[in-house]
Amino acid sequence: MTHDATAPVAKKVEKKLEIHGDARIDNYYWLNDREDPEVIDYLNQENTYLKETFDDRTKAFQNTLFEELKARIKKDDESVPYKYNGYWYITRFETGKDYPIYTRKKESLDAEEELIVDCNDLAKGHSYFRLTGLNISPNNEMAVFGIDTVSRRRYTLHIKNLKNGEIYEEKIGNTTGGSTWANDNETLFYTKKDTQTLRSDRIFKHKLGEDPENDQLIYFEEDDTYFTYVYKTKSKKFIVIGSSTTLANEYRILNADQPDGDFKLFTARQKNLEHDIYHHKDQFYVLTNKDGARNFKLMKTPDNQTSAENWVDVIPHRPDVLLRDIDIFKDYLVVSERQEGLNKIQIKHWNSGKQDYYIPFDSETYTAFTTVNVEFDTEILRYNYTSLTTPPTVIDFNMSDRTSEVKKVSEVPDGKFNPDNYESKRVWATARDGKKVAISMVYRKGMEQDGKNPLLLYAYGSYGSTVSPSFRRNYFSLIDRGFIFAIAHIRGSEYLGRDWYEDGKLFNKINTFTDFIDCSKFLIDQKYTSSEHHYAQGGSAGGLLMGAVVNMAPELYNGVFAAVPFVDVVTTMLDDSIPLTTFEYDEWGDPNNPDYYRYMLSYSPYDQIKKQKYPNILVTTGLHDSQVQYWEPAKWVAKLREMKTDNNILLLRTNMDTGHGGASGRFEALREDAQEFAFFLDLEGITE
């Protein structure tokens, strides 16, 4: 049964998919053609159904939530200025405007403000707008930036003369949006994408004032499991071309003073050798898993002898500490680590006679990370501190005398937020194989563990990406109405180190899903909530998680929100013409291999839909999504409508103007959030 007789019913056109002696019938394969008017008509029917059965009924409440969310955003906000190459750089928002304005001031913050780019002007006439990769030339006279007005993450590079304000006619299309200047202020290196797969596969060199059609191809990444990119080291000495796949990297370097020279291979790529490179004086520092360092270690090598046999240890591998990143300064090395799930920042002095130390943090669950540290010769480290009850706080830390200065605490200007009204903590659930899985949670003080609390459990669980326990101002619209908001730090992330990630990918992927289910059972057993009040949310690969758990344990959840969900795993991973497929093999496996095919098929949400009851479900997508194609959630919803045996709500929202990230404006995106929160609250009978 469907929730409502007017629910759209997608037509069925049998498509037989055969491989490894196995045949699958996909009746909704026809939906993967965004040029087909019938496809557009079906998506519009689903949008109409959403409007008539949910939006029209909850319109007033959604408007209330939208105004509430908007009230938590400072209308005329401004970033903490940072200094780079003689200028202070500032990003600000003005009241009533959706997009940022990038400015700078020469030498002093009291100097006259210079406009770099006003995104509000450039966004006029576009339903979607995003600017990325803003990069200033070494002589401070030119700016380059990428613009996407479709949401397919194909950016057009624009070059602006900051002396006279002119944006040049020479535009470079189909790029990643990233680029870097050579030290001559005339040569620009940038990355182009394959027009079909959107894999970034080519590095070009552009000379200012010349026709981009004549730009020189510098590097082509032939291996379709890799993507490529280009950047300049913080030392400003080298241009670096990087090639990466999930489990390996390769770099080529060129003296930034000699842009017409030849790039030199840093070290030859090796299967499963991961490394990031950082330059300091006459050395490269290499963050790597070389020699079995699963949690990574730091090595170094002379910048004229960079092959792997020359690397020597600086910070050895530690089995209980994940080495995540480093920041290099003239006198200091800053090391970002994760231990027992918590971020740590260590300060090391290049002068070995001075003692190393950690910046002290005393919270049970928090997030701390270094931010914009572009100046090389400084004693000031800028980092961000936040927690589930602490708004993002920008702190300047003096590495010499160990003093701190809070530069900014992000305001919640609605006048209602008081951190003293909330509690956060970390609890540990036991997974079915005995592993302990952390759950971070926040709720209003006075919460009683009586099984009656609505609880929203959020997770991602792929690519080693860790969902940090940071401040999420929007979710207080749920928390203030009695919800507990919780994050499950499941396998597939690196919350407990690299092994935690390895234990949730490839042939261990099922652990990601069972961890989430076991966290849900723990929260119910401990009476934080009950299945009648339990909700789940995840997006993209986290949407795959949602699709898997509603097949495996639908009885645990009253409602599930799956955003841009990757749910048609096998069919997508068998199609190497789809963006992202080829360099995802190390994450999910290559289903052209029969063992991987069978394993992926065992959890693929679309393939594993069965005749059973499902929770109330809200699904979202964007027509131009380049990360998870819109047809995956569309097919999933169509098949769920056909197979499910319950009377619960099933809703699909397709944003016909955007892609993976949804609406682009800072306020317009809140309308989507308001709708999503209304979905959960409505299921709880909360309407105001």
What are the tens digits of pLDDT across the range 231-277?
A: 999 999 999 999 999 889 999 999 999 999 999 999 999 999 999 99
Per-residue pLDDT of 30-57, as tens digits, reads 999 989 999 999 999 999 999 999 999 9
Give the H/E segment covering residue 572: helix 569-573
Give how far Cα 686 sits from Cα of 56, 417, 429, 454, 676, Å: 16, 20, 29, 11, 14
Give the side-chain half-sphere CA count within 13 A for 202. 15
Q: What is the pLDDT of residue 96?
A: 84
Q: What is the pLDDT of residue 649?
A: 96
Pick from 392-396, 456-460, 662-666: least confident:
662-666
* Choice among 503, 660, 664, 682 that is catalytic: 660
**CA–CA gap between residue 494 and residue 502 (Å, rounded):** 9
* The 113-118 sheet, strands edge to edge: 82-84, 87-92, 101-106, 113-118
Q: What is the pLDDT of residue 354?
A: 84
Per-domain boundaries in the chain = 16-71+415-683, 338-410
**CA–CA gap between residue 230 and residue 221 (Å, rounded):** 12
pLDDT class of 519 with cuts at 50, 70, 90: very high
Q: What is the pLDDT of residue 1?
A: 31
* Choice among 540, 604, 626, 664 that is catalytic: 540
Across residues 107-129, what is the average pLDDT? 92
Residue 602, helix vs strand vs coil: helix
Per-residue pLDDT of 482-514, as tens digits, reads 999 999 999 999 999 999 999 999 999 999 999
What is the DSSP-derived secondary structure letter of residue 193?
A: E
Q: Which of 175-179, 423-427, 582-586 has the highest mean pLDDT?
A: 423-427
Per-residue pLDDT of 605-664, as tens digits, reads 999 999 999 999 999 999 987 778 899 999 999 999 999 999 999 999 999 876 555 555
Q: Which CATH class for the 16-71+415-683 domain?
A: alpha beta
Across residues 588-614, what is the average pLDDT? 97
The answer to whether the beta carbons of residues 314 and 298 sit under 8 Å apart is yes
Is the pLDDT score of 298 beyond 70?
yes
**CA–CA gap between residue 92 and residue 79 (Å, rounded):** 6
Q: What is the pLDDT of residue 660?
A: 53
Q: What is the pLDDT of residue 662?
A: 53
Q: What is the pLDDT of residue 586?
A: 86
> Is residue 410 annotated as part of the catalytic site, yes or no?
no
Q: What is the pLDDT of residue 315?
A: 95
* Choice among 625, 657, 673, 682 that is catalytic: 625
In DSSP terms, which residues pair with 205 in a beta bridge?
Answer: 189, 216
Per-residue pLDDT of 533-545, as tens digits, reads 999 999 999 999 9
Q: What is the pLDDT of residue 87?
A: 95
> Is residue 362 annotated as part of the catalytic site, yes or no?
no
> Is residue 363 annotated as part of the catalytic site, yes or no?
no
Across residues 103-124, what is the average pLDDT? 94
User: Which string of b and e fits 140-153 if b means at least 16 CB within 10 Å?
Assistant: bebbbbbbbbbbbb
